[in-house]
Amino acid sequence: MITVALALLAAPPTFHAAKAQARVLDRPAAAVAAMVGACEVVDGAVSGECLENTKGLKEEVTGKKVALDLGSGYEALLSYGGGTGAKTRFVWGPLYDVGNGLALTVGKPQKISESGNVVVGKRPIDGTSPDDLMELDLRRLASTGALGIEVVGKFGKTWAMSGGGKAVKGVSFEVEALRLYNVRSGATVFESTQALK
């Protein structure tokens, strides 16, 4: 009995354990809008749908652990960094572009480009992948946009930047755990509990 308890305490943390302790937010775009106050009055009008979707959400999630499924289509921001099994690395430009001048980033972005895009630095993430996935599999999944990203963590400070004739508001996110999954099957391709701030 004591051996089992010690083994559980010594087990490395997992994405699923972190997610089990978090509030799952099914609509990450609405959460970002709520956190940056995107439903404020603009030109004398407020979107009733936006207000309804984000009502009270900021107060409910500030400082609390949440889980977000950021979807797929990250082939320009996510690449395979090497290794397999217990020593796998991916490199991620941590950006979730909601559209309409809203974004979620890990940390504050570097700048807004001349074309009005949010610029973030890519970060290495170390974790594990299933033993049956080879380097070629991991590289192909990342380069074709066939990986979805799920994160667990907390919302941080809001930020606002402008460039390229565009103003962007966003919120930083402190990642406690990350999971990459195959968008076709839902199977886990990679998971990490490396903190990213």
Predicted confidence (pLDDT) at residue 66 exceeds the cutoff of 90 = yes
Considering the domain boundaries, does residue 76 fall inside one?
A: yes
Backbone angles phi, psi at 77, to 5 degrees: -110, -5
Considering the domain boundaries, does residue 3 fall inside one?
A: no
Instruction: Give the angle 31-36-180 at the CA atoms, nearest 5°.
Output: 45
Q: Is the pTM of this model over 0.95?
A: no
pLDDT computed for residue 147 by the predictor: 97
Q: Residue 147 and residue 79: Cα distance in Å, rounded?
A: 10
Host domain of residue 37: 14-192
Considering the domain boundaries, does residue 103 fall inside one?
A: yes
DSSP 154: E
| Interval 44-66 mean pLDDT | 71
Considering the domain boundaries, does residue 98 fall inside one?
A: yes
DSSP 12: P
**pLDDT band per the 50, 70, 90 thresholds, residue 27:** confident
Considering the domain boundaries, does residue 8 fall inside one?
A: no
Predicted confidence (pLDDT) at residue 118 exceeds the cutoff of 80 = yes
If one counts every other C-beta atom within 10 angstroms of the C-beta of residue 4, the result is 8
pLDDT computed for residue 11 by the predictor: 53
- From 138, 133, 6, 150, select the one nearest 67 (Cα to Cα): 150
Number of residues in the chain = 197
Residue environment code for 162-179, b if the CB has 16+ CB neighbours within 10 A, otherwise e = ebeeeebbbbbbbbbbbb
Helices (H), the chain: 2-10, 15-20, 28-36, 48-54, 57-61, 135-143
Considering the domain boundaries, does residue 5 fall inside one?
A: no
Predicted confidence (pLDDT) at residue 46 exceeds the cutoff of 60 = no
| Interval 185-197 mean pLDDT | 96
Percent of the chain predicted with pLDDT > 90: 64
- Per the structure, the count of domains in the chain is 1
Considering the domain boundaries, does residue 100 fall inside one?
A: yes
Considering the domain boundaries, does residue 129 fall inside one?
A: yes
**pLDDT band per the 50, 70, 90 thresholds, residue 47:** low
The tokens for 117 are 């895009």
The tokens for 91 are 């490199």
Predicted confidence (pLDDT) at residue 170 exceeds the cutoff of 80 = yes
Q: Residue 175 and residue 94: Cα distance in Å, rounded?
A: 10
